[in-house]
Structures are given as structure tokens and as C-alpha cells.
Amino acid sequence: MNNSGENKEENYNSIKYKQKFLKELLRKKNAILLAHNYQRDEIQEIADFQGDSLELSIKANKTDADIIVFCGVRFMAESAAIMNPEKTVILPNENAGCPMVDMITAQDIINLKKDYPDAPVVAYVNTSAECKAVSDICCTSANAVKVVNSLSSKRVIMVPDKNLGSYVQRFTDKEVINWPGYCPPHKRTTPEDIRVLKEKYPGAVFVAHPESSPETIDAADHVSSTSGMYKFVRESSAKFFIIGTERGIMYKMKKENPDKVFIPSNNGLVCPNMKKTHLDDVINSLAQMKNIIKIPEDVRIKARKSIENMLAL
Ligand code: 13P
Ligand code: SF4
């Protein structure tokens, strides 16, 4: 075996060793490992539960574990902590944030409410706990249309993702008032990317996330949350799929559909924050009980109401 072959084998063995060590640590501490669909392959591989933002919030609510190790980005771990004050929630890499979350503040929402007093605020889960605390109800990409249509007002404020807001506008008679936030990785896929790829792979089906731009959504054959994409791909008879979301999603897609071919819609569609969490971070944070999410109680109680309103649907 040459050097690079030996290195590969060494890396593989070290990943397997760390996974085994972590599994044992989780068991000893009565901890559960939750992973978002964009996480690194080696983390998805050993997660107790993997899912989209909505599924992960539901799972975090139902677990009997004492500790929730949340492999995702900060707002997701915060949602788990908001709902489970009696549990310890760990975000293994404390720098794993979401730029979209930082595109709006609680004060911005308070100002919007003054401008549109008749419109309830629907906060995408990709918001800080403080923003959730001043909103009326949360939503995820999987239930945004349902949440908006469940409200009795004639117009709604949707924050912070303008693309999710304009996607929802296609399925509701209500007026959607948008905030100009967006997801930088999803912004990178353009209709031109899809045109070029469809020419190269005739018959390929383009699957997009609602965080994509309206022009990219127009070019899509199917639009859904990340877990909705797994289901669509599983049930479709097509062979080639152009995947318009973070490439971490392709790990499970390939595993579940070995005969199908998955093509990234754009090589830049990688979320650097979702990739910040490594096995070492997970082991160290759990072993040392560090990077525990803490939310001021007054904020937590108000933010909880917005998440509960969503989960009640
Ligand atoms: P979903 O997993 O809910 O589709 O969300 C994608 C995302 O970008 C989370 O930040
Ligand atoms: Fe935020 Fe976009 Fe990354 Fe999701 S994919 S965590 S919205 S930057």
C-alpha cells in the first residue's frame, strides 16, 4: 500500500475509534446525539436521530435523555434549550452560527410590529431566542405555508428570510411582509446553473430548498425542506437529481438510493457553519460538559410560546 493509501486507512480507523468512544460516552452520560441533515458524514453516521429543523425540534422535545448534544447551528440548539430547561443542551462547536440569524434583531421586529400592528410575526426558526421572544409563532421550511395559512389576519410579517417569505406568498392569499434576510450558501445556485446541468444530464430532476431565490425556485421540479427532499428522491422514478441544498444532504441520499445519481446544483453550496462541528468537538464538549446553551429565563419563556404555537399545529 502506498503512503496515501496508508493515510486513508489510518484516518478511517481513527474516525471509527472516535465514533466508538463517543457512543460509549453518550451512553454513560445518558445523552442523545441529534444531527441536522447538513452535518459531516461521520457525525450523521452515529447520530441517534437525524432530521430537518422541524423534526429535530420535535425530537428534542420527546427525548428522555438528560443531555442533548445538538450537532447543527446555534439557533437549533437554542430551540432545544428553550423547550427543555430541565435538560442540558450542548452545541459542540460554539462558533457554529447562521449568518441569516444575524440579519435581524429583536428591535427590528418590534419596529415592524409598530409599522404593521395588524400583522402577526412569523419567525423562521433561523432566528435568535430574543427574536423568537418578540414574535407570535415560529415556522420551519417544512411547515411555513401551513403556519401562515393557520393565522386569521389578512397580512403577516415573515422574518428574516425574504426567499422563504416569497415562496410562502405563492401559496397564500394573505399579504406577506418580508424582511431582507437570506441564506448566503443557498443564494449561490442560479437558474443558469440549472440550465447548464439539465443540458449535461437530460431528464435530471431539480430539487430546491425554499431558501433559494425566487428565480431558482421557478426552475425547480420539486421544492421542500431537507427531509422532504429525502422522501421525494426515494419515491421518484428519475435517475439523476440536481440537489439545490447543502451537500451534506447527499450522504444519506446516496446511501438510501445507491442506483440514483446526485449532482450538486452549485459547487459553492456548502454551509461553512454546518461543517464547523467535528467528532473531536463533540467528544470534548460532552466529556468536559462545555458549550452549554444558556438563555435568560424571561427570554426563554416568551420564545417558548412562539415555538409551542408552531408545534401545536
Ligand atoms: P431544514 O432542515 O429545515 O430544511 O432547514 C435548512 C436550513 O438551512 C437550516 O438552517
Ligand atoms: Fe444558515 Fe443557510 Fe447555513 Fe442554514 S444553510 S445554517 S440558513 S447559512
Contacts of 197 (CB under 8 A, 6+ apart): 204, 206, 242, 263, 265
Quick one: 210 and 231 in the same domain?
Answer: yes
Per the domain annotation, does 225 fall within a domain?
yes
Q: Does residue 271's CB lie within 6 angstroms of at least one atom of ligand 2?
A: yes
Do the domain assignments include residue 55? Answer: yes
| CA nearest to 67, candidates 281, 275, 290 | 290
136 and 200 share one domain: no
Query: What's the pLDDT at 13?
Result: 75
CB 145 within 8 A of CB 229: no
The predicted structure's pLDDT at residue 4: 65
Question: Apex CA 77: angle with CA 89 and CA 227, to 5°?
Answer: 125
pLDDT of residue 7: 74
Give yes or no for a cis peptide into 160 (omega within 30° of 0): yes
Spatial neighbors of 176 by CB under 8 A, at least 6 apart, are 148, 155, 156, 158, 165, 166, 168, 169
pLDDT score of 257: 98
pLDDT value for 105? 98
Which residues does a 6 A CB cutoff place in the pocket of ligand 1? 37, 52-54, 98, 126, 140-142, 183, 211, 225-226
In a domain, 302, yes or no: no
- Taking the CA of 101 as reference, the closest ligand is 2
**Cβ atoms < 10 Å from Cβ of 205:** 20
204 within some domain: yes
* Residue pLDDT tens, the chain, 313 long: 456 666 777 776 799 999 999 999 999 999 999 999 999 999 999 999 999 988 998 898 889 999 999 999 999 999 999 999 999 999 999 999 999 999 999 999 999 999 999 999 999 999 999 999 999 999 999 999 999 999 999 999 999 999 999 999 999 999 999 999 999 999 999 999 999 999 999 999 999 999 999 999 999 999 999 999 999 999 999 999 999 999 999 999 999 999 999 999 999 999 999 999 999 999 999 999 999 999 999 999 999 999 999 999 9
Quick one: pLDDT at residue 302? 98
Kindly state whether residue 175 falls inside one of the protein's structural domains.
yes
Q: Could you tell me if 263 and 42 are in contact, meaning their C-beta atoms sit under 8 angstroms apart?
A: no
Ligand 1 atom nearest 209 alpha carbon = 4
* Start-to-end C-alpha separation, the chain: 57
What is the Å distance from ligand 2's center to 5 Cα?
34
- Domain with residue 163: its CATH number is 3.40.50.10800
Residue 301, domain member (yes or no): no
Could you tell me the residue range of the domain that residue 32 belongs to? 4-96+275-295
Does ligand 2 lie within 6 Å of residue 100's CB atom?
yes
Nearest alpha carbon to residue 126 among 151, 100, 152: 100
**Which numbered ligand comes closest to the C-alpha of 270?**
2
**pLDDT (0 to 100) of residue 87:** 95
CA–CA separation, 225 and 211 (whole Å): 9
If asked whether residues 169 and 241 sit together in one domain, one would say no
| Number of independent structural domains in the chain | 3
The string over 137-154, giving b where at least 16 C-beta atoms fall within 10 Å of a residue's C-beta and e elsewhere, is bbbbbbbbbebbeebeee
Residue 2 has a pLDDT of 56
Q: Let me know whether 150 and 115 are in one domain.
A: yes
Domain contains 310? no
In a domain, 269, yes or no: no
End residue of a domain, out of 161, 183, 205: 183
Residues 106 and 81 in one domain: no
Do 47 and 77 reside in the same domain of the chain? yes
- The answer to whether the CB of 76 is under 6 A from ligand 2 is no
Same domain, 8 and 92: yes
Helix (H) or strand (E) segment spanning residue 233: helix 226-235
Gap from CA of 98 to ligand 2 centroid (Å) = 5
User: 125: closest CA among 174, 175, 72, 171?
Assistant: 72
Please report the DSSP string for 112-137 in residue order. HHHH-TTS-EEEESSS-HHHHHTSSE
- What pLDDT, on a 0 to 100 scale, did the predictor assign at position 203? 96
Please report, for residues 142, 271, 302, the alpha-carbon distance to residue 99 in angstroms, rounded to integers and kept in the order given: 20, 10, 23
- Indicate whether residue 55 lines ligand 2 (CB < 6 A): no
